[in-house]
Chain A
Amino acid sequence: QVQLVQSAAEVKKPGASVKVSCKASGYTFTSYYIHWVRQAPGQGLEWMGIINPTGGSTNFAQKFQGRVTMTRDTSTSTVYVELSSLRSEDTAVYYCARSEIRTNNYGPHDSWGQGTLVTVSS
């Protein structure tokens, strides 16, 4: 069955960086984009960006430009998101989610990771 398994919770100080992983299994890794979506405590969902596991190309929401990096390791079917210059407002649950790679359009997020809580506190 399709699984996206994320790394454990992290606690970071303001100004630091955090790297969260998402390991995919149960499907062809290069057939689906991986997206990162975050959710601050008690708040809604916020799309951060997307990575194509095939070539590693990325596209980020403007809000995160310059602060976010997304990478992948095809040998382990794992995708990573790294967020730098952390501030308290970055405290959130970070989810990875996949969407099918299609020729003419994009697809919805049909499978999600379990989420990784990142807490930014001094």
Chain B
Amino acid sequence: EIVLTQSPGTLSLSPGERATLSCRASQSVSSSSLAWYQQKPGQAPSLLIYGTSSRATGIPDRFSGSGSGTDFTLTISRLEPEDFAVYYCQQYDSSPRTFGQGTKVEIK
């Protein structure tokens, strides 16, 4: 099973700042099989990024993904109030699909 480790656990930032979230895999993951999800309190997760760097439908371009092999990054260029949430990475390269433990982006 591929273990995904996200860092930091919590990111305290102000609106307008840049957020950089990390996801490290215990073994290499195909870049076509790494996704990021956003979850707000009381809501289901929603797809942000798939295939490491492709934005899902309707996702603004302030969200970008990058990486390869075992190291992947989600960047939010300028935080908007609605971006404060928990973010999860997921690999769907091999079964079982696994998620990272999440990074909470909170208002400083």
Residues of A within 8 A of B (CB): 35, 37, 44-47, 50, 59, 61-62, 95, 97, 99, 105-115
Contact = CB atoms under 8 A, between A and B. Distances in A.
Interface stretch (B16-24, B29-37, B76-84): B29-37
Interface residues of B, number: 25
B85 interface: no
A109 B37 contact: yes
Contact of B35 (A61, A108, A115): A108
Nearest to A47: B97
A118 to B, nearest CB: 15
Contacts of A37: 45
Interface of B: 30, 32-33, 35, 37, 44-47, 50-51, 56-57, 88, 90, 92-93, 95-102
Contact of B99 (A47, A59, A106, A113): A47
B90 A108 contact: yes
A112 B90 CA distance: 15
B44 to A, nearest CB: 4
A44 B44 contact: no
A46 B56 CA distance: 22
B33 A105 contact: yes
A45 B46 CA distance: 12
B100 A44 contact: yes
Which of B30, B47, B98 counts the most A-chain CB atoms under 10 A from its CB? B47
